[in-house]
Homo-oligomer: A and B are copies of this chain.
Amino acid sequence: MHDDADPRPWDVLESQYLVRRPWLTVRQDRVRLPGGAIIEDYNIFEYPDWVNVLPVTRDGRIVLIRQYRHGSRAVHYELPAGICDATDADLEQSARRELLEETGYGGGEWARLATLSANPGTHANLSHTFLAKGVAWEREPSLEETEEIRVRVVGADELRAILALGGVLQALHAAPLYQYLLSLRA
**A interface residues with partner B (beta carbon < 8 Å):** 1-3, 5-10, 18-19, 21, 23-24, 26, 29, 31, 33-35, 37, 39, 41-45, 66-76, 114-124, 126-127, 145-146, 148-150, 160, 162-163, 165-167, 169-172, 174-175, 178-179, 181-182, 185
Query: A120 to B9, Cβ gap below 8 A?
Result: no
Q: A6-B66, A37-B146, A119-B118 are in contact. Are A182 and B175 (CB under 8 A)?
A: no
Query: A117 to B169, Cβ gap below 8 A?
Result: yes
Query: A123 to B71, Cβ gap below 8 A?
Result: yes
Query: B8 to A170, Cβ gap below 8 A?
Result: no
CB closest chain-B residue, reference A46: B71
A162 contact set on B, CB distance < 8 A: 1
Query: A9 to B148, Cβ gap below 8 A?
Result: no
Q: A73-B9, A145-B35 are in contact. Are A127 and B171 (CB under 8 A)?
A: yes
Query: A117 to B150, Cβ gap below 8 A?
Result: no
Q: A162-B1, A175-B174 are in contact. Are A72 and B117 (CB under 8 A)?
A: yes
